[in-house]
Amino acid sequence: MANTLLSQIQALGVILDIDSMDPRAAESLSVSTTFHSMTSNQAIVNGQLRLQWDANLEPIVSQYVQDAAIDISTETGILKVLNLVTVLLASKIIPYLDKTGRVLAQTSPRTAYSKDATVAHARALISVFGKHGISKDRVCIKIPTTPQSILACKELQESGICTLGTCLFSVPQAIAASQAGCLSISPYFNELRVHFPEGASSYIDHKDPVRQHPMSPIIYSIIQAFKEKQTSTTVVPASILTLDEAVALARLRPHHLTISDRVLTLLAAAPAKPDEDLAAVTMEVAGEKSVLDADYIANNAAALEVAISRDTETSRKIKEALEIFGRQEEESIQFLRKVLSTPKA
């Protein structure tokens, strides 16, 4: 039996990724394990931007703005600065990943319903990573799984840029991402809003999340569908708040789990459970065969558009997630404009 719950989950063959850009946490946790990849989003960037600004970011970003004559009052200018910040934060975590692990950065929510704008932002991020010594084989771009952006994933994958489908809550979204050739998908276990004070009250702490949580059968169905179709796209569940949720998801046997540094720390301190408590579960697969066999990429992702529009819960969750990420991105923009416009003492 493994010594800790963290090592026990890994012993099952579930690969662990760190859902954090905090280098101190990554360093501390690296004593217990080596992570494969690092995932991030606009909320994670926003939090670490503020924490790391003075010590790690300010000199490099300020010099970049000066040397490149960036006009931070324009959207184009400030988004270039935010791309740089994202890359600099990611670069602090890559030493704690295994040699084939990737750092993940998410395209802007403001581009989520434009294929061309999503492709452009993904390429811009890859370019900045390259300029800072991180080759594209160590990067994966997270892209919200909307009809337009799933077409962007296909174009990017065909050009050699790896993508991950995020803001994903349904089987059709998952199948669409696999048809687009995405490296991975991250179905959310919990809605994004529960991570923030304004939405925390909506969180339900299920006694038996593997059986009671509404996303368990959906994620299970995605995993089983990918096995049946022998797709190379890996399943990386995200948005995990408790130890019990991490255990529940491990029992579904996804390829990876991406977990916050807070929950990873708890897992590293928790004693291992009896092996039967992490035994693989079997559930009824959700969705008819027609759902699994549909071509969600054809005709400009028309079938995906229909599937999402008919699924009120998925539509709501995507809308709310993009709104939250949009607010987090805007907070980062306002912070950067303020600190970069303030004369040094």
Let me know how long the chain is: 345
Tell me the whole-structure pTM to 2 decimals: 0.96
Residue whose pair of structure tokens reads 């004593």 in the numeric block:
31
Distance CA 192, CA 209 (A): 17
- Backbone torsions φ then ψ of 104, nearest 5 degrees: -115, 135
Could you report the per-residue pLDDT of 11-64, keeping only the tens digit for each? Answer: 999 999 999 999 999 999 998 888 999 999 999 999 999 999 998 899 999 999
Collect the ranges in the chain with pLDDT lower than 50. Answer: 1
Q: Determine how many CB atoms are found less than 10 A away from the CB of residue 271.
A: 10
Domain ranges of the chain: 5-338
* pLDDT for 342: 77
* pLDDT for 234: 98
Phi-psi label, residue 135: left if phi above 0, alpha if psi -120 to 50, beta otherwise: beta
Could you report the per-residue pLDDT of 197-224, keeping only the tens digit for each? Answer: 999 999 999 999 999 999 999 999 999 9
- Assign 188 to helix, strand or coil: strand
* Residue type, position 116, single letter: D
Residue whose pair of structure tokens reads 């990849």 in the numeric block:
37
- 259: β partners: 18
Task: Write out the two tokens for 181.
Answer: 């050739």
Please identify, in words, the CATH class of the domain defined by 5-338: alpha beta
* pLDDT for 1: 43
* pLDDT for 92: 97
